[in-house]
Structure 1
Amino acid sequence: MIPYGKQEISQEDIDLVNEVLRSDFLTQGPMVAKFESAVAEKCDVKYAVAVNSATAALHLACLALGVKTGDYVWTTPITFVATANCAIYCGAEVDFVDIDPKTYNLSTEQLRIKLEKAEIEGKLPKVLIPVHLAGQSCDMKKIHELSLKYGFKIIEDASHAIGGKYFDEKIGNCKYSDITVFSFHPVKIITTGEGGMVLTNRKDLYEKVYRLRSHGITRAAHEMTHSPDGPWYYQQLELGYNYRITDIQAALGVSQLARLDEFVSKRHEIANNYNEMLKDKDIIIPYQSPENYSAYHLYIIRLDLKKNRFTHREIFERFRSDGILVNLHYIPVYRQPFYEKMGFQPKDFPEAEKYYSEAISIPIYPSLTLEEQKKIVYRLVTPIGHQTIF
């Protein structure tokens, strides 16, 4: 069986986790701070706060930027539901911007058009959440320019993109955003089992996220309403959450981070192999914009269904029946029943609809072998019955 993605655990990972298990701290100890510092340094950003999931990171990012009832938050429809849900948690309304037909990221042209209309209607977004789908950065320079004109804040959902670059600068440096969010789920570039991180260059946002991660509590005297009663003293300044990550998870993250560049390089090697094997087939391979160095979390192909008689579903199921666990990233969020009730119409997002009808994520992860890649491509291009697929 070949999954679409999986973690790679080394003996070094196991040894560092075991070291923490034998230490005095299993949670809220020094390894979390070490992981945060290591990621911040790797990404050329000032502050990082580790949390128990990227969903938590997105929620805290919205709270830190003051998202509340009556606000609007926009994002792409081609993402996991958590990217939109984080705004709903805060009481805001969500809307979607259609995707670019080449990169599958949020379209800056459609964003510009939608912002012009929203300004007239008095419904500009407070926050935009662009998603770096598959590990390739959105056009952040253009998005940042639009944010300066229209006054919205930016949260980069870089759940797929740690280790990637944009104009040769690290994704996560927050040069064109207020906050960046990473995921460390097992299928992502590096893993902590479950986990996420909030990155920012703004001290005020860092302090807010840091408090909210742990019930809104502070032990910092300069944040308190009066001098501490003693060394035991803490104050809850606002309503926060238990979104903490453990030292056990952070240890795995520290060890994995040491191999980040190696992981991404291997993913590029695998992507290049696919590109070569599929270049003469009636299949759209992932477009990489010249300003990007993708982390290649996913390798998404699109099927030219006009040139064969098999459906998207038939081809997908053929992979699955052969033990190749392809996936589809993602079902457009507005198609989910929870969001359908809000009145979203598929016809308003033609590029996302076309993408959904054609896309398949085929396996990519560092330990995927060339022989396994050849098997995947063979299953894709060989005949079904008496009919050649491509």
Structure 2
Amino acid sequence: MGYRFGRDDVAYLGSAAGRAALAEVDRLELTPATHLRDLEQVRRAHPEHAAALIETVRLRRKAVAKLPAAAGWLFTDDALQQATPALVARHRAARLAGRAVHDVTCSIGAELAELSAVCPAVVGSDLDEVRLAMAAHNLVAAPLSERLVLLARADALVPITRDTVIIADPARRADGRRTYDPAKLQPPLPDLLAAYAGRDIAVKSAPGLDFDRLGWDGEVEIVSLDGAVREACLWSPGLTDPGITRRATVLDSRGGATTLTDADPDDIPERAPGTWIIDPDGAIVRAGLVRHYAAKHGLWQLDPHIAYLTGDTVPPGIRAFRIEDRFDLREKTLRQELARRDCGSLEILVRGIDIDPDALRKKLKPRGSTPYTLVITRIGRVGVVFLCTAVAP
């Protein structure tokens, strides 16, 4: 659960004395091996604030990958876990550039910092007084925060602004467990949408949420960053183009961004496997835009119901798998072929077949020196295995 911060902690950590103490603690290793020694040292120097200091340094180190510009920020453990990665928040802010925005679940201010760089008016509200105090501190420290942000303590289900775009990020845990039930989010998603009926709204949610069950009539955008699916965002009809209900956005840390929507063409041929197999980014798969991606890049599917694509060329910047051979799904045959080819490192990708890759790898016992990839799937009702060599982008 982590240390439970209070308002007094936030005031101290933001003071000159607190900043000096944090710099002192940051020079410690704070590893499991040094934990007792480091804790004793901090307790001797700062007996009243030791836990808050150690937790803050620990969280700042943990935050570097997700929020690289947040070196001087304050966090709680839960708030950091739910905070949107900076590049994803920046992408969302860009879609709202020029609009007045109210983040009704602003927490420690990760979204507010990005919004304030591109929006003329920004309001942040939350029920948690500690997180609001941290947000106030973080917005002062944020390098992108160029405009004044108004903060208020308010219930997300009680509107306090007019003529603003609403942003919300309901908590995804209920009874200590992650939930994909819209009604069990905090605040409940149906209640949130009812509270802002008729308003432009963007709601961050888990990619695994059952959007069809929700009956959402706007756009669902699935966003990935560096190959990992990060979130879904529900955009109300007024915040998207007419006719778009699904969007996949693929971001990378180098600044690249590609987008597909269900308004793009999806007509692709039915052919035998080509030279390559391509495993589309998870955002494209989750958004149901595999055919659209294939049409854009001159590819086709191995099977109409499976997300693996194939073709004779590889889209730029994509890791692909060159097909070396094809086998029936028989363990004995695979073991013999891998041994004959001196297979060593073995990557196993599976779709449409109930196989545990780790368990299969142990059974195949590769002991050679040549790396290979097995792509295991089905074409029609038949299980097939493609022996491939992976080629990095």
Settle same-fold status: TM greater than 0.5: no
Larger Rg: 2
Q: If each structure's strand is expressed as a fraction of its own residues, which one has the higher value?
A: 2
Higher RCO structure (Cα 8 Å, ≥6 apart): 1
Q: If each structure's helix is expressed as a fraction of its own residues, which one has the higher value?
A: 1
